[in-house]
């Protein structure tokens, strides 16, 4: 079976995982069918590598991974290909903004996730990948967004309607998946990218087929080529059945007819 789409790029939270943080048996079954059909399945997540790895292992994936919204690209699990670090000066500035508003924040360094309740102030002594804020106060979040935009040099997205996630400018899932395509010798037109939040938007816009989950944020649904069922109703299984394996059968049938 020849697949039109060669790479399935999967966001994790709100996409691959249901609300209980699990891959359902149905979704796992269809991912394995896609792999058997020769499709590369790549986890493309805002999570850190160590948080994403158990799910890659559950699915038996040995393919590249994109973690921390594109700050890291892995040639294969445990084999780092590229890492983009954030300027510690920016981390300090973003920490001070969190203090100014008194809101919850987190920052990913190479060794751990630093939050408001375990922040030790050692910014210069670490290598940083991502910073994030969480607040359900729309007014504060809007002011925060404007302040971050004024700083410049930042890629600002979210992984839920109530947070903001910040990476270095140019570091995003689309850039990460482009590097994965080079590693695999394929084109972005051969990619199906699936997600639910603004940190998925760049890759959904640039992939051959951009897919929004049924639970996706409004902007993501508007920009996607198709919308499937939610993360709690096996939307990924639908993607694979309708848009990957069905396309592969059509191509196979056409090839046989030509022969």
pLDDT at 127 over 60: yes
Last residue of a domain, one of 168, 187, 207: 168
pLDDT in tens, 51-62: 999 999 999 999
| Residue pair 15/48 in contact by the 8 Å Cβ criterion | no
Q: What is the mean pLDDT of residues 189-194?
A: 98
Which one from 11, 196, 200, 234 is the annotated catalytic residue? 11
Residue 240 lies in a domain: yes
Mean pLDDT of 160-175: 97
Residues 153 and 56 in one domain: no
Strand partners for 104: 134
Q: Which two tokens stand for residue 183?
A: 């590693």
Whether residue 126 sits in one domain with residue 74: no
Q: Are 163 and 200 found together in one domain?
A: no
The answer to whether residue 217 is domain-embedded is yes
**pLDDT tens, residue by residue, 31-45:** 999 999 999 999 999
Q: Total domain count for the chain? A: 2
pTM: 0.93
Q: Is 11 a catalytic residue?
A: yes
Question: Which residue among 141, 168, 195 closes a domain?
Answer: 168
Structural domain span for residue 46: 7-83+172-258
d(CA 104, CA 94): 12
Radius of gyration of the chain (CA): 19
Q: Are 21 and 37 in the same domain?
A: yes
Asked whether residue 153 falls in the same domain as residue 197, the answer is no
Task: With respect to residue 2, please indicate whether it lies within any of the assigned structural domains.
Answer: no
Closest CA to 210 of 198, 226, 189, 233: 226
CA dist., res. 26 & res. 12, Å (int): 16
Mean pLDDT of all residues belonging to the chain: 94
């Amino acid at each position: 079976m020849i697949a039109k789409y060669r790479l399935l790029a999967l966001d994790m939270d709100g996409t691959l995982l249901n609300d209980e943080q699990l891959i359902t048996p149905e979704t796992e079954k269809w991912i394995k069918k896609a792999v058997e059909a020769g499709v590369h399945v790549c986890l493309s997540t805002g999570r850190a590598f160590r948080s994403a790895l158990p799910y890659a292992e559950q699915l038996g994936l040995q393919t590249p991974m994109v973690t921390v919204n594109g700050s890291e690209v892995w040639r294969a699990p445990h084999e780092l290909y590229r890492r983009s670090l954030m300027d510690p000066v920016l981390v300090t500035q973003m920490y001070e903004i969190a203090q100014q508003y008194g809101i919850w924040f987190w920052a990913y360094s190479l060794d751990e996730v630093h939050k408001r309740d375990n922040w030790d102030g050692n910014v210069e002594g670490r290598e940083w990948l991502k910073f994030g804020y969480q607040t359900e106060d729309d007014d504060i979040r809007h002011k925060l967004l404007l302040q971050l935009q004024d700083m410049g040099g930042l890629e600002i997205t979210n992984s839920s309607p109530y947070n903001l996630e910040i990476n270095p400018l140019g570091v995003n899932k689309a850039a990460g998946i482009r590097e994965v395509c080079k590693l695999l010798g394929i084109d972005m037109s051969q990619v199906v990218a699936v997600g639910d939040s603004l940190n998925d938007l760049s890759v959904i816009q640039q992939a051959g087929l951009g897919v929004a989950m049924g639970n996706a944020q409004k902007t993501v649904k508007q920009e996607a080529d198709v919308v499937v069922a939610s993360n709690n109703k096996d939307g990924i299984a639908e993607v694979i059945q309708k848009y990957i394996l069905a396309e592969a059968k059509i191509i196979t049938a056409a090839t046989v007819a030509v022969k």
